[in-house]
Amino acid sequence: MADKAKFIEELTPRYTPKGEHIILGKGMLDGEVVSEINVTIPLKTINRHGLIAGATGTGKTKTLQVFAEQLSHAGVPSLVLDIKGDFSGIAEAGQMNPIIEERYAKTQLPYNPQAFPVELMTISGGKGVKLRATVTEFGPVLLSKILELNDTQQSIMSIVFKYSDDKGLPLIDLNDLKKVLQYVTDNAQGKAELAANYGSIAPASLGAILRSIVALEQQGAADFFGELSFDVHDLLETRDGKGVVNILRVADIQNKPQLFSTFMLSLFAEIYMTFPEEGDSGKPKLVLFIDEAHLMFDESSKALLSQIETMVKLIRSKGVGIYFITQIPGDVPESVLSQLGLKIQHALRGFTAKDKKEISKAVENYPTTEFYNASNLIQNLGIGEAFITALDEKGIPTPLVHTYLISPESKMDVLSDSEVSDLVNNSSLVAKYQEDINKESAYEMLTSRMEQATQNSAPTQKSRPVKEEPGMFEQIMKSRAVNTFFSTLLREGAKAVFGKIGKR
């Protein structure tokens, strides 16, 4: 039997922050809840990222729900990537039941069933706020990474973007990009312009790029690229003092890894380029929760994987925390795992030799403790229990504590179709991004130009070919000046972050 008095004496000061904090549960010792130990996390360290891990059915999603609720109470908004589609219940109030009543009797904490402000979001045409970005905002560097182009093809993509900029051809969606590629490949005037000012490009390379774009479209990217572009500052809303929980439902990620990579790269780049430096602000500006993170690491593009470590290091300074939810810590690359300050470990099951090795590796990542046999207890944690180690206000890892987690105050089930419809229909953000804006861009401009060229080349009375009006591109540039200027800034910024930093 461990010394309870010593346990309380050692852990109480380490889990009693002076500043703002959230509470996740109560400490446990020898299977009993120790009500004197509040397991709290300082808000100022939440941007140091974290991991929620555990075998299927051990309560990870409910822990995520509690975490998001506590952040909302503190006025911190979050974005939850809901892979399984079982998180939406946070928008409705929970109900007391015997299990919750027993849990809160042990913790001696109040249970206040309530709903939390929620926005549902989509990148694949489902119900909710439509998240889009323009091709120009991505720029040649990010887009080349998503399309997994080789060095030669990446340089061609940069030339195509430069050509589009110089000619005032806005690249809004993938149709625009394909049209420019077609124009400089098949159209005599386009080929001549490109060769004269930027150098010749092999048709085979352009064809390979087009095939990569078509493959990306097959995963639904045609709906993702376009206007109105999503403003990441819309993720920072609060209502009545509570942070909004933004839920992105991506249940079909397994079939659309490139689309998911596209979204994640766009999100990271946009946040990094547009959020100001926060420094030590006292609490995070935004927290990202990536559920079923092993799918991201297993299925997503090399481009995303190569940037995650860099972004985990850099995005913290923007006041943003990233939390990965997965089954075993080994699902997360070591280079990323080493950057995660908070670890919430639910039970692991040692059914096979490989499972036992994963358990040993997981325990090695925790601070040593005299109060628990961690290797044994980790396999016998009950539902709603977890090992927790975090960072205190000085950034020092806290002692490992067996935690009896509080229950969500919101509904522990999915919303019905009618509840989802009500939520979406009453959302001002959904209305803001609902319309698919199809402005005149490269596709329309070049289609018109090619049609005009065809008409001018038709046999007529012996007359000289009609010359192009001087200043046409200058007029186009003038009409699109504001949009092109803004888009160029974003593109060059993204290039700096994901190009130069990524090559270190």
Per-residue pLDDT of 152-183, as tens digits, reads 999 999 999 999 999 888 999 999 999 998 88
3-state secondary structure of 373: coil
Confidence of residue 429 (pLDDT cuts 50, 70, 90): very high
Confidence of residue 313 (pLDDT cuts 50, 70, 90): confident
Domain match, 287 and 207 both: no
Domain match, 261 and 126 both: yes
The two tokens of residue 85 are: 């589609």
Domain match, 67 and 123 both: yes
| 471 is a domain residue | no
Report the C-alpha gap between 195 and 121 in whole angstroms. Answer: 44
Domain, as residue range, for 165:
135-224
Cα separation values, 489 from 140, 447, 484, Å: 13, 27, 9
Domain match, 269 and 409 both: yes
| 473 is a domain residue | no
| 439 is a domain residue | no
Report the C-alpha gap between 309 and 501 in whole angstroms. Answer: 11
Q: Is the peptide bond before 228 cis (omega within 30 degrees of 0)?
A: yes
Contact yes or no for 437/134 (Cβ under 8 A): no
Report the C-alpha gap between 475 and 465 in whole angstroms. Answer: 22
Q: Is 179 exposed, middle or buried (0-12, 13-18, 19+ CB in 10 A)?
A: buried
Q: Please name every residue paired with 344 in a beta bridge, in sequence order, or none if there are none.
A: 52, 388
pLDDT in the model for residue 275? 93
Q: How many domains does the chain fold into?
A: 2
Q: Above pLDDT 90, what percent of the chain?
A: 51
Domain match, 125 and 182 both: no
| 293 is a domain residue | yes
Domain match, 350 and 250 both: yes
pLDDT in the model for residue 1? 62
Q: Which helix (H) or strand (E) covers residue 120, if one does? A: strand 118-122
Classify the C-alpha dihedral 330-334-335-340 as positive or negative.
Answer: positive
pLDDT in the model for residue 105? 92
The two tokens of residue 277 are: 């430096």
pLDDT in the model for residue 58? 92
pTM of the model: 0.84
Q: 196-234: string of b/e by CB count within 10 Å (b at 16+)?
A: eebeebeeebbebbeebbeebbebbbbbbbbbebbebeb
Of 368, 393, 415, the one marking the end of a domain is 415
pLDDT in the model for residue 294? 82
Contact yes or no for 303/262 (Cβ under 8 A): no
| 440 is a domain residue | no
| 233 is a domain residue | no
Cα separation values, 318 from 41, 143, 285, Å: 19, 24, 8
- Of 252, 247, 249, 246, the C-alpha closest to 220 is 252
The two tokens of residue 341 are: 């300050």
Contact yes or no for 399/14 (Cβ under 8 A): yes
Of 195, 224, 253, the one marking the end of a domain is 224
Q: What is the pLDDT of residues 238-274, one digit of tens each?
A: 999 999 999 998 876 667 777 777 788 788 888 988 9
Of 367, 399, 415, the one marking the end of a domain is 415
Most confident of the ranges 46-55, 187-196, 212-221, 360-369 = 46-55
Domain match, 287 and 406 both: yes
Report the C-alpha gap between 410 and 264 in whole angstroms. Answer: 28
- Of 297, 325, 300, the C-alpha closest to 56 is 325
Of the listed ranges 173-177, 282-286, 337-341, 461-465, the least confidently predicted one is 461-465
The answer for residues whose C-beta is within 8 angstroms of residue 366's C-beta and 6 or more apart is 343, 345, 374, 387, 389, 400
Confidence of residue 486 (pLDDT cuts 50, 70, 90): very low
Of the listed ranges 277-286, 306-315, 475-484, the least confidently predicted one is 475-484
| 431 is a domain residue | no
Confidence of residue 460 (pLDDT cuts 50, 70, 90): very low
Domain match, 143 and 127 both: no
The two tokens of residue 202 are: 């092999």
Q: Say whether pLDDT at 149 is over 50.
A: yes
| 443 is a domain residue | no
CATH of residue 106's domain is: 3.40.50.300
Q: Say whether pLDDT at 418 is over 70.
A: yes
Domain match, 147 and 97 both: no
The angle formed by the CA atoms of residues 210, 212 and 218, to the nearest 5 degrees, is 105
- Of 415, 432, 425, 305, the C-alpha closest to 82 is 415
Classify the C-alpha dihedral 278-281-286-292 as positive or negative.
Answer: positive
Q: Say whether pLDDT at 484 is over 50.
A: no
Domain match, 163 and 18 both: no
Q: Say whether pLDDT at 191 is over 90.
A: no
Domain match, 53 and 157 both: no
Domain match, 56 and 87 both: yes
